[in-house]
Structure 1
């Protein structure tokens, strides 16, 4: 059972909601953790490591990838893609020893295009302690038990985009919540976790072929949804190409939407929305706009509730963390760490990280922020509003585009070559 998250609620007073009854306190069962906000309740987490220090085990991976590890009920899961996307696999490792327990692979008949920086395993799996779900985009959605037995699989259609796919499934109340796209057809859907049956689908309007807008600029969203309780109502919140939508989980009805992600260079969203008490902050990609708005009302709430819009911005692929009343970001270029005021969008401070660009998202554990850059160095710093207070730089000397998982006092990191378990 997940414990009461008092320490988190004091800095994130609007609790995010997951199917908590099936999770163990130390699990990290989905992209950005048990609450989908990158925040861990773990204490005594390692602050320093290297390729030789505090490595409990490392397991070789067959190919690079942008997905992140998850930890559930004694297992670590990660996706890999080989043979230029013609083979896509889910790997299961023992969390204690690092031993590979099983691998389940899919070999699609048709391989859609992608960008060379986004291998065919950009989507992170999700698990509930008994079942694990993995989305291979056009190659299908698969559900396995923890022994590796396939329980069901579904084709959700073809998704073609020159930059590939990257949204991850989220589990909530016996449902799989999945943002399907980008491409000609984009939709949010809920499926029954036990059977794979579609419960609802809500289409999102797209322009042209879903790759370019009417101005022939790039468009698309790779944002993983967040589930939150807002003013007593559970909502699924996701950044789409042009706007942020809030969906009712039972019916898929859009309760409200806020516009503002249309940018001068395109309509793009890579990050998940960040919820800062009753304010939602959403980031456009490719130097596009960032917006902040109050999460209240119904229908198009843009005019009534949007607090600010700022453009241009650094390239943002990594999702940030809200803590201590502020939003902390690690950007992909220029190479900056930032502290923002979510109510105004104003930059409180920004400093160069001293490392490479960050694609992996930020994690908060034991009062420290962790983010791994593209050189495989994990930067650890204090969430201070006074300036960058770096605690450690931890190099693994292998490239990485992934987000750390924190579980039971250990940190799990995926590089292009290995899966690492780091502990004291």
Structure 2
């Protein structure tokens, strides 16, 4: 009997390990593997503090608004120093936080930005072998996982009084990047292996790209998302005035929906949220929100737009679609909302009990996580009837970043440290 049980137990252990590995996932891009803020991880910590469930933390040289990513055993984060003259990519061992390497791009110009937006607002993207980082005017860089530069590109200079903050995404061997804001704004696809441009599609801007013809603010900091609509892949991004869907192979604009021009200006900070066949886009600076069906070609505003509502709270954080609703955490005031994507109706809204949120919401293991500007991560249920809070986890350090979830662990960037949190 023992001879039978021994190989059986060995097989069982191997099966459990295999299932554990299969259920774990990397977090290789801003807002996760699918760019939608949804993690497949289970068993993630719900509660932690400065002295509880901290597996490791490492100091960072400067504050920043970019978020960590996790890929093939490594954690990547960007930092910037000396008024943006030095823009760096850091690589850490995910097991213990040991710094494996750091690569710095020196840039001899001081570009305009807002005091709340350091020169590292863009989150890197990786595929397990290559990591790509956009330093805006300082260039687009690709490294291997040992820190060797594979290639770099100068995509132009981007001047805006509030700086930059868009993150690159990967799709079928292409880097998709929304370049801007500024006088020239465009969407581009760059070959991951060679760094060569596959296509560029310009987006019209008014005046100098900072202010429109009415002298109101203008600009988009929206990171695109990849969608599969009617068996077709589309790159969807919120621009200053409209939401565009691009063909990822050619850069052709398949459709556009207008409605983001607001009373205070033409601004957008969030990524589009895809709610089944409906796209919801949020304007910035109390600007409008729109919902529309992703169908048709050309200007689909009249035929596909379902609703438009203005004004709204200041929205920098991107929401999550789950349980048939969109959950939002806002920058001002500190209000959490549950929204019906079909009508734009606010089902409920409550104060979080914390600070304003710039980082984006994440759904993991049946809970929603959002880190506010005071470094407190609020955990609550995606309850469509009421705000059901679970925990408020204080690190006591400011943060404008979005957590990364990988292999049962949570990685959080504050202005002072990079944390790895685990059970």
Helix, strand or coil at the partner of 1:375 = coil
Cα distance between partner residues in 2 of 1:332 and 1:231 = 34
Cα distance between partner residues in 1 of 2:110 and 2:168 = 21
1:106-255 superposed matches below 5 A? 106-255=105-254
Helix, strand or coil at the partner of 1:303 = helix
1:10 match: none
1:17 match: none
User: 1:243 Cα deviation (Å)?
Assistant: 0.2
Give CA deviations for 1:93-116 in whole Å, capped at 9, x if unaligned. Answer: 000000011000011122210000
Number of paired residues?
402
Specify every segment of 5 or more residues in structure 1 that has no aligned partner in the other structure, as ranges: 1-22
Give CA deviations for 1:284-328 in whole Å, capped at 9, x if unaligned. Answer: 000000000000000000000000000000000000000000000
Specify every segment of 5 or more residues in structure 2 that has no aligned partner in the other structure, as ranges: 1-21
The question of 1:34 aligning with 2:33 is answered yes
Helix, strand or coil at the partner of 2:83 = helix
RMSD: 0.9
2:90 match: 91
1:18-417 superposed matches below 5 A? 25-417=24-416
Q: 1:95 to 1:404 in 2, by over 3 A?
A: same
| Preserved CA contact (<8 Å) 1:24 1:73 | no
Helix, strand or coil at the partner of 1:168 = coil
Give CA deviations for 1:256-307 in whole Å, capped at 9, x if unaligned. Answer: 0000000000000000000000000000000000000000000000000000
Which 4+ residue blocks in structure 1 deviate beyond 6 angstroms? Answer: none
1:5 match: none
The question of 1:421 aligning with 2:412 is answered no
Helix, strand or coil at the partner of 1:71 = strand
Cα distance between partner residues in 1 of 2:312 and 2:116 = 21
Helix, strand or coil at the partner of 1:392 = strand
Q: 1:161 to 1:226 in 2, by over 3 A?
A: same
Helix, strand or coil at the partner of 1:85 = coil
1:9 match: none
Cα distance between partner residues in 2 of 1:333 and 1:169 = 27
Give CA deviations for 1:141-166 in whole Å, capped at 9, x if unaligned. Answer: 00000000000000000100000000
Cα distance between partner residues in 2 of 1:24 and 1:226 = 23
User: 1:24 Cα deviation (Å)?
Assistant: 9.4
| Preserved CA contact (<8 Å) 2:158 2:183 | yes
- What TM-score comes out, normalization by structure 2 length? 0.94
